[in-house]
A and B are shown apart, each in its own frame.
Chain A
Amino acid sequence: MRGLIGEDILTEEGEFIINMGPQHPSTHGVLHLKIWLDGETVKRIQPNLGYIHRSIEKMSESLSYRNFIFATSRMDYLAAHVNNEACALTVEKGLQLEVPQRAKVIRTILSELTRLQSHQLWWGCTGLDLGGVTPFFYAFREREAIMEIFEETCGARLTQNYMVPGGIMYDVHPNFQKRVKDVMIQIKGKFEEYDNIMTGNVILENRLKGVGYLSKEDALSYGVTGPTARASGLSCDLRKSNPYSAYDQVQFDEILDTGGDCYARYMVRMREMRQSVSIIEQLIDNIPEGDFQAKTKNVIKLPKGEFYQRVETPRGELGVFIVSDGAASPYRIKYRSPGFSNLSALPIMAKGGKIGDLVAIMATIDLVIPDIDR
């Protein structure tokens, strides 16, 4: 009996090695976990990456500062707007360019819509992973309405490429405001339905409560960010601490929970959705008139130096680091993606738990594999 990579599948200590993935329905993509099991108890986990590596960082080195942004839509495909915004903000930082107020507000609205639809998809997939198919369809119903906003204004549903250095690519569609308001009313009415169908459910509570505990200290030392860290009580919302775009003009709460288990992570995301709706409602009536894009030169050249900008994606902190040598394309680009750091904390969360709980933990970290492995 030989394992896939030439090791015995039974170790000397009597532990059983299995490979979960790369094709596994609950890993949401090509994540490969090598798991050491004692009976049904997880002893050790080793994530293996590389199955969906497209070398986006290396590719960007040969593209101009306008062109490299499109590839980031394919990193975290559920948060393309936020990824594009992060790149655009970094280039603007290098150019010391002031973005028109209108573009800032529209960027913020679209980012929050992205967060809403991403959390809705996560909510549906969590239900699916835990054995309930119904939530998936309920989540997609409201998500589809947001997707239509994106489709009408940006022309695409997932890979929008709408944020460009200097602002947004073209002005919003005339129907934008009306459609967003309608969708917000629709979604607000459905939160109660979400809670009825999943949050209070006894099966869900039994599967999530006390499972996959992550302490505040571990969250900090592993660099965990986003709702996963906030559920452990770690305050890390960049929208609050380092506001970018129009986040300094809106009132919202940073959602914190002290539970640290899967249920806390679930509740943090559910409450964050309501905050996103509140942010959008504050901004949608106050989109200032004016230019939607600042004037930029035909060929953008960043001055020599290093530029870093971080934003809060639905999954955590995305950092874009550009090293420029003064040429028309970046010398080096590094993305600090939220999924990679969050995945690194998975082994300590799942250690000592059952293999069935591992699926629940993976669901509540909200992994997007192309984001982990760029």
Chain B
Amino acid sequence: MFLKEYFGTIYKSVKSLLIGMKVTGYYFTHLKEIQTEEYPDNRATLKMFDRFKGEVVMPHDENNEHRCTGCQACEIACPNGTIKIITKQEILADGKKKKRIDTFVYRLDLCTMCNLCVVACPSDAIVMAQNFEHSVYDKKQLKKILNNPDSKLMAGVE
């Protein structure tokens, strides 16, 4: 009786190990089912999803015009103080004074990619870009100015 139980345990143990090894053996012989993404080597073909939140950018069109009116809704929406908008008074052609952005400062080192600024923007001036390789040698480079030099507000955006 004791012997039967003893060998029964050995049989069960070896069987359970073999069942486990069978799974490992299956993948050892079916190399096509192995899924590995070899990241730095597949850079050329790697495409992130459209919604991937990499960093905040401000798209400019071919006339160097953006859509940011300087309303500071994103600055208020940001939980970390990532965005700082410096505005200036600009005299338009008809002599009226208007508020325009001078610099749109974006600090990537503070950003948590929560997307709240993009959702808050009433004129779709900022979007999330898919770039995710952000490492730089100097942390000062993480403080970015999003509007291009000499860029203008797009006509028709208020």
Question: At the interface with chain B, which of A25-33, A61-69, A352-360?
Answer: A61-69
Q: Please indicate the chain B residues that have their CB under 8 angstroms from the CB of A148 in the complex.
A: 49
Please give the distance in Å from B4's CB to the nearest CB on chain A.
Answer: 18
Which of the 9-residue segments B58-66, B97-105, B112-120, B150-158 touches chain A? B112-120
Counting CB contacts under 8 A, is B123 at the interface? Answer: no
For A170, list chain B residues within 8 Å (CB): 119
Against A, the Cβ 8 Å flags (1 = close, 0 = not) of B42-68 are: 000000110111000000000000000
Contact with B along A51-66 (1 / 0, CB 8 A): 0000000000001001
Cβ contacts under 8 Å, B77 to chain A: 66-67
Q: Mark B114-140, 1 if CB is under 8 A from A, else 0.
A: 111001000000001000000000000
Bin chain B's interface residue count: 20 to 34
Contact B49 A155 (CB under 8 A): yes
Chain A residues numbered 219-248 whose CB sits less than 8 Å from any CB in chain B: none
Is the CB of B17 closer than 8 A to any CB of chain A? yes
Q: With an 8 A cutoff between CB atoms, is A6 at the interface? A: no
For the complex, what is the distance from the CA of A82 to the CA of B20, rounded to whole Å? 34
Contact A161 B115 (CB under 8 A): yes
Q: Provide the main secondary structure of the chain A interface.
A: helix
Cβ-based interface call for B79 (8 A): yes
Cα A85 to Cα B17 in complex, Å, equals 42
Q: Are B112 and A201 in contact (CB under 8 A)?
A: no
Among residues 20 to 41 in chain B, which have CB atoms less than 8 Å away from a CB atom of chain A? 20, 22-24, 35
The one of A71, A159, A200 that contacts B16, using a Cβ cutoff of 8 Å: A200
Residue with the highest number of chain B CB atoms closer than 10 Å, among A141, A156, A170:
A156
Given known A-B contacts A70-B114, A141-B35, A169-B115, A156 and B53 have beta carbons under 8 A apart:
yes
Q: Assuming A197-B20, A198-B20, A202-B12, is B79 touching A151 (CB within 8 A)?
A: no
| Size of interface on A: residues with Cβ below 8 Å to B | 31
Cα A200 to Cα B14 with chains together (Å): 11
Using CB atoms, name the residue of chain A closest to B27. Answer: A138
Whether A155 pairs with B128 at a CB distance below 8 angstroms is: yes
For the complex, what is the distance from the CA of A317 to the CA of B48, rounded to whole Å? Answer: 34
A156 CA / B51 CA spacing, docked (Å): 8
Nearest-neighbour CB distance to chain A for B81, whole angstroms, equals 11
Asked whether, in the complex, the Cβ of B17 is within 8 Å of the Cβ of A202, the reply is: yes
CB neighbours (8 Å) of A173 from chain B are 49, 51
Decide if B16 touches A202 in the complex (CB within 8 Å).
yes
Tell me the residues in window 128-152 of chain A with beta carbons closer than 8 Å to chain B beta carbons. 134, 138, 141, 144, 148, 151-152
Residues in B whose Cβ lies below 8 Å from that of A164? 119
Which residues from chain A contact B119 at a C-beta distance below 8 Å?
A: 164, 169-170
- Judged by a CB distance under 8 angstroms, whether A42 is at the interface is no
Tell whether, in the assembled complex, residue B49 and residue A151 are in contact, meaning their CB atoms are under 8 Å apart. yes
Taking CB atoms, residues of chain B closer than 8 Å to A68 are: 79
- Chain B residues whose C-beta falls within 8 Å of the C-beta of A198 in the assembled complex: 20
CB distance from B106 to the nearest CB of A (A): 17
| Measured CA separation A71–B49 after assembly (Å) | 24
A201–B13 alpha-carbon span in the complex (Å): 7
B19 near A: Cβ within 8 Å?
yes
Which of A152, A155, A201 is within 8 Å of B20, CB to CB? A201
A1 to chain B, nearest CB (A): 43
Q: How far is the CB of B20 from chain A (nearest CB, A)?
A: 5
**A201 — which chain B residues lie within 8 A by C-beta?**
16-17, 20
Check A155–B115 contact: CB distance below 8 A.
Answer: yes
Task: Give chain A nearest CB distance to B122 CB in angstroms.
Answer: 10
| One of B16, B17, B78, B113 near A156 (C-beta < 8 A) | B113
Distance (Å) between the CB of A142 and the closest chain B CB? 10
**In the complex the two chains form, is A155's CB within 8 Å of B35's CB?**
no
Instruction: Say how far B47's CB is from chain A's closest CB, in angstroms.
Output: 12
> What residue in chain B is nearest A206 (Cβ atoms)?
B13
Chain B minimum-CB-distance residue to A162: B115
Assembled-state Cα–Cα distance A161/B12 (Å) = 48
CB distance from B118 to the nearest CB of A (A): 9
Residue from B23, B53, B78, B116 in contact with A197 in the complex, judged by beta carbons closer than 8 Å: B23
Contacting residues, chain B, for A156 (C-beta < 8 A): 52-53, 113
Interchain nearest-CB distance for A265 vs B (Å): 20
9 contacts between A and B (CB under 8 A): A66-B116, A138-B23, A148-B49, A155-B113, A156-B53, A159-B114, A169-B119, A200-B19, A203-B17
A-B contacts besides A155-B53, A202-B13, 5 pairs, CB < 8 Å: A70-B116, A155-B49, A164-B119, A200-B19, A201-B17
The 4 closest A-B pairs by CB, nearest first: A202-B13, A67-B79, A70-B114, A155-B53
Q: B residues touching A (Cβ–Cβ < 8 Å)?
A: 12-13, 16-17, 19-20, 22-24, 35, 48-49, 51-53, 77-79, 112-116, 119, 128
